């Protein structure tokens, strides 16, 4: 991977690019993550496709631009990044929050998308209850208690059976939370609270799409995944039977195989 900083519109972006391959896959990380989460996953893809990863603004070492980072703003940043890299068409794989960004790209960039993969992500907007939880997280960060999130959030992302085996990954994710700027966390939370449902938009877009779910995902219960699947009979569905929310870490080979098969 070749790392660089580029200007995506008026936003400086930290990007990594394998720079080889006729087809391109863009990996978008989730909330409280950075492009570092893909380090062990990229090698499973790069012999078959060009791979681009980036730090979404508010995470990693990309900048914090505003008090709220809407999913539409983040979608603009991704599209502008790809334009600077000279890549006209690509498949976007979005993990969790990264999936919300991928969906927001349907607004203005559908002609650039060869496919969308929602990896442990949802098409529907947050419920009132979930928005309230996000507001409580904002208050936690403002109170200087981000370490509480670092202690609890990473464990919840993994199926219980995988926690001991993937202890090092959990520790790395906790460290990512601690080094993420408070203002970035708050901006992203605000953007997720504001995001809208895009299931119908995705269905009508004509863009090929696939949903990858973990059977033991704490954040996406079986019934919620089933609701999303039932509403979209055109979607390709993959279940990772031994994963929680972090399937690309818990079952990386199966996850990568599904993506490569989808990309064709």
Q: Which residues of the chain have pLDDT under 70?
A: none
Of 208, 216, 210, the closest CA to residue 247 belongs to: 216
Phi, psi torsion values for 6, nearest 5 degrees:
-135, 165
Phi, psi torsion values for 95, nearest 5 degrees:
-90, 125
* pLDDT value, residue 136: 95
Report residue 169 as tokens.
Answer: 């990954």
* pLDDT value, residue 152: 86
Report residue 225 as tokens.
Answer: 């995944």
* pLDDT value, residue 193: 97
Ramachandran region of residue 53, left (φ > 0), alpha (ψ -120 to 50) or beta?
Answer: beta
Q: What is the CATH number of the domain that holds 243?
A: 3.40.50.1820
Can you say whether the dihedral through the CA atoms of 166, 239, 189, 2 is positive or negative?
A: positive
For tokens 């790809």, name the residue: 82
Of 55, 50, 66, the closest CA to residue 12 belongs to: 55
Domain residues for the domain of 248 are 2-263
Instruction: Report the C-alpha gap between 235 and 218 in whole angstroms.
Output: 22
Of 224, 246, 222, the closest CA to residue 98 belongs to: 246
Q: What is the largest CA-CA distance in the chain?
A: 48
Total domains, the chain: 1
Can you say whether the dihedral through the CA atoms of 112, 41, 119, 170 is positive or negative?
A: negative
Predicted TM-score (pTM) above 0.85 = yes
Instruction: Report the C-alpha gap between 194 and 196 in whole angstroms.
Output: 7
Would you say 213 and 239 are in contact if contact means Cβ atoms under 8 Å apart?
yes
Instruction: Report the C-alpha gap between 27 and 91 in whole angstroms.
Output: 9
Q: How do residues 130-158 score in pLDDT, each as one tens digit?
A: 999 999 999 999 999 999 899 889 999 99
The angle that helices 182-194 and 128-142 make with each other, rounded to 10 degrees, is: 170
For tokens 């995902």, name the residue: 217
Q: What 3-state DSSP class applies to 114?
A: strand
């Amino acid at each position: 991977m070749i790392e660089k900083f580029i200007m995506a519109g008026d936003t400086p972006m930290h990007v990594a690019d394998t720079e080889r391959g006729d087809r391109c896959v863009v990996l978008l990380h989730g909330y409280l993550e950075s492009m570092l989460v893909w380090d062990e996953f990229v090698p499973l893809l790069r012999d078959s496709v060009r791979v681009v990863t980036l730090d979404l603004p508010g995470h990693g070492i990309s900048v914090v631009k505003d008090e709220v980072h809407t999913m539409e703003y983040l979608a603009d940043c991704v599209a502008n990044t790809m334009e600077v890299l000279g890549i006209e068409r690509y498949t976007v794989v979005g993990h969790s929050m990264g999936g919300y960004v991928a969906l927001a790209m349907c607004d203005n960039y559908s002609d650039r998308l060869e496919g969308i993969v929602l990896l442990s992500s949802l098409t529907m907007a947050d419920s009132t209850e979930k928005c309230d939880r996000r507001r409580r997280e904002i208050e936690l960060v403002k109170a200087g208690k981000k370490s509480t999130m670092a202690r609890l959030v990473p464990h919840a992302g993994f199926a219980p059976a995988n926690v001991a085996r993937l202890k090092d990954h959990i520790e790395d994710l906790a460290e990512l939370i601690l080094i993420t700027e408070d203002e970035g966390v708050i901006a992203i939370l605000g953007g997720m609270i504001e995001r809208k449902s895009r299931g119908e938009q995705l269905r009508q877009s004509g863009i090929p799409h696939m949903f990858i779910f973990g059977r033991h995902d704490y954040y996406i219960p079986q019934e919620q995944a089933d609701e999303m699947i039932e509403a979209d009979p055109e979607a390709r569905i993959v279940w990772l039977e031994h994963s929680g929310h972090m399937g690309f870490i818990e079952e990386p080979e199966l996850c990568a195989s599904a993506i490569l098969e989808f990309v064709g």
